Amino acid sequence: MNIGLDMMGGDFAPLEAVKGAAEYLLTADVDIHLTLIGDETKINGHLIDHPIPVEKYTIVHATQVIEMNEHPTRALKEKQQSSIAIGFHLLATGKTDAFISAGNTGAMMVGSLFSIKAIDGVLRPTIGAYLPREDGTLGLLVDVGLNSDCKPENLNQFAILGSLYAKYILNFEDPKVGLINLGEEEGKGNILTQATYPLLKENRQIHFVGNVEGRDILLNKADVFVCNGFTGNVILKMAESIYDISNRRNLNDEHFNRFNFEQYGGVPVLGVSKPVIIGHGISHAMAFKNMIRIAQRMLQTDLLGKMQESFTDPA
């Protein structure tokens, strides 16, 4: 497998990307090749201190970088030689099997939607994020910002995509799916959740357990938590603040330490035809290493093939 890595994305590029790639390959137990996309001179400079076996990587030189504050669509159009644009070109043409970046999130989303397209039958791809639960496991939250406004059919598809990811990547044998709502009863909620509930209840591709409230999100009442992107992004940002607050207050607690999202890498774009992982702009080596692991796992389990089967031949 060949995984493309944007070396210029993120606040600490390319050093932390190089370190993460080197650390990953030290423990990799599969035959994997990394395509490092970015400024060749800068990448080679860091490879002196953080060497990677020469047979394990290829550098593809990129003369441009899409900055964090640039307009995504315009930047991708005008910066065809940027690391993100080249990364998506390599992925779309089959020269790489997956693509990872901690760069401009908007550009990554535009590239995902227009360079490699959605899986046939998927109305809208979604972004998932991890929720550290009190019992030590990870829950999955979908959507976390890609789709602020949704229809019930979108949430129903998010549930399928999230359930497959939870099964094959997070290793839940039969992931429980919950609909985030303001009450447990079936009739509760706004127009969106009231209309979504019966769709999830009748969906034979998922294990639906009903509505879940905010107090359930960090427990194991469900494994996949479904909501629109507006609600999901609020939850995600609040969860991220838990780690920051615990650090500022010098709280060395095992559970709170798990809110350091770097240890999980980036978030997957679910519903597009090839693996795309988006990292946080402040990603360090640990995050890059774990993003590569996620991409590796998605390829090993043929997760995208299983998603395609779910939408072309629904149960």
151-199 pLDDT, tens per residue?
999 999 999 999 999 999 999 999 999 999 999 999 899 999 999 999 9
**Average pLDDT in the 138-157 region?**
95
Cis peptide before 275 (omega within 30 of 0): no
pLDDT over 70 percentage in the chain: 99
**Annotated domain spans of the chain:** 1-122+271-302, 124-259
pLDDT at 7: 98
CB-CB contact of 21 with 34 (8 Å): yes
Average pLDDT, rounded, for the chain: 94
Q: Largest alpha-carbon pair distance within the chain?
A: 62
Structure confidence at residue 240 (pLDDT): 86
Q: Is the pLDDT at 315 greater than 90, yes or no?
A: no
Residue type, 12: F
- Over residues 66-111, the pLDDT tens digits come to 999 999 999 999 999 999 999 999 999 999 999 999 999 899 999 9
What's the pLDDT band for 291 if we cut at 50, 70, 90? very high
Both tokens of 63, joined, read: 């003369």
Q: What is the pLDDT of residue 313?
A: 60
Strands 276-278 and 267-270: antiparallel
With a cut of 60, say whether residue 230 has pLDDT above it: yes
Confidence class for position 312, pLDDT limits 50, 70, 90:
confident
Could you check whether 1-122+271-302 and 124-259 share the same CATH topology? yes
pLDDT in tens, 17-42: 999 999 999 888 789 999 999 999 99
Question: Is the pLDDT confidence value at 145 over 90?
Answer: no
Architecture field, domain 124-259: 3-Layer(aba) Sandwich (3.40)
pTM: 0.91
Question: Residue 137 carries which side chain, given as an amino acid letter?
Answer: T
Full 3-state SS string of the chain: CEEEEECCCCCCCCHHHHHHHHHHHHHCCCCCEEEEEECHHHHHHHHCCCCCCHHHEEEEECCECCCCCCCHHHHHHHCCCEHHHHHHHHHHCCCCCEEEECCCHHHHHHHHHHCCCECCCCCCCEEEEEEECCCCCEEEEECCCCCCCCCHHHHHHHHHHHHHHHHHCCCCCCCEEEEECCCCCCCCCCHHHHHHHHHHHHCCCCEEEEEECHHHCCCCCCCEEECCHHHHHHHHHHHHHHHHHHHHCCCCCHHHHCCCHHHHCCEEEECECCCEEECCCCCCHHHHHHHHHHHHHHHHCCHHHHHHHHHHCCC
| Assigned token pair, 92 | 């779309």
264, two tokens: 């999980």
Q: Are strands 138-142 and 126-132 parallel, antiparallel or unpaired?
A: antiparallel
- CATH code of the domain occupying 1-122+271-302: 3.40.718.10
pLDDT at 47: 97
pLDDT at res. 28: 84
